[in-house]
Amino acid sequence: MQIIQMPCKNFDPDSGEKSAIIIHGTAGGTSAVGIGQFFINTEGGSDPVASHYIIDQNGIVVQCVQEKDGAWANGTALWNDKAISIEHVKSALDNSNELTTSQKNTSFMLIKDILSRHPKITSGDIHPHSFVYNTACPGPYPWNELRDFLKGGSTPKQATQAQRVQAVNEWVAYWQQKTIASPPTGSAIFESWLSFKIKGQNFGPPITWEYPNIDWKQKPIIQQDFAHASCEYDNGVSRWFDSRGEIV
């Protein structure tokens, strides 16, 4: 993996052993190099910021802070010091962009590489920025695919064009039977449904639209129900449940 070095001074030196990875979205910008230059431009200013890594939409990686140091990315000194932060370039100011295939594959490989060098960090220690700070960051991120990849996959599994067409047809056909418009096929819930389907786990067609709900912690979520399971979506994470509990 080729990494472009753009050193930035916005960090705490030698901040201790790392115990987490925090996933970010840039909420603006068009390139990793551009975001790296933005970090450098904030040096000495009123709001200096930086992350360890930035991943471009074409898979280019920029490193601004060494892993031994605490990058000023997470909003709290504690999490800056204990976590390695990875930004993903997203042009939308609300971080609503899905990762590109190249960006996703590079993100997964970088995370796996980090885990191999930091034994204290486990797959359960990888969190969205919203986990540690009140923010809508990173937006959509393929958490289920990441978990599968870290369990031993060599590359993230992608749906072929034929599989995607077949899945969309199945999705739409059910709603045509009900003589109403079909729910969107580009949503994060659809992509999660498709990723399970190509692995052989078919939750059946959707039987509701996406609708607002709350989880057992009284936290607002987006839910969609399917013939054999339900999906709860919150800030990039899709969790699936059937009558036996959560499907991992």
pLDDT tens sequence across 110-126: 999 999 999 889 888 99
- pLDDT, residue 162, reads 80
Q: Is the pLDDT assigned to residue 156 strictly greater than 80?
A: no
Q: Are 71 and 11 in contact (CB under 8 A)?
A: yes
Mean per-residue pLDDT of the chain: 88
Q: What is the mean pLDDT of residues 226-243?
A: 85
Instruction: Name the pTM for this structure.
Output: 0.67
CA dihedral 116, 121, 124, 125 (to 10 degrees): -130
Burial of 222 (0-12, 13-18, 19+ CB in 10 A): middle
- According to DSSP, residue 226 is labeled B
Where residue 218 falls among pLDDT bands split at 50, 70, 90? Answer: confident
Sequence spans of domains, the chain: 3-139, 161-247
- What confidence tier does 239 reach under pLDDT thresholds 50, 70, 90? confident
Q: What is the pLDDT of residue 69?
A: 97
Closest CA to 159 of 139, 185, 181, 126: 185
> Using one digit for the tens of pLDDT, what is the confidence trace for 3-13?
999 999 999 99
CATH code of 3-139, in short, is: 3.40.80.10
CA dist., res. 158 & res. 173, Å (int): 23
pLDDT of 183 higher than 80: no
pLDDT band at 180 (very low <50, low <70, confident <90, very high): low
The reported pLDDT for the residue numbered 200 is 76
The pLDDT-based confidence of 181 (bands split at 50, 70, 90) is low
pLDDT of residue 182: 67
Instruction: Please state the rounded mean pLDDT for residues 88-116.
Output: 93
Is pLDDT at 75 greater than 70 in this prediction?
A: yes
Strands 3-5 and 20-25: unpaired
pLDDT of residue 27: 95
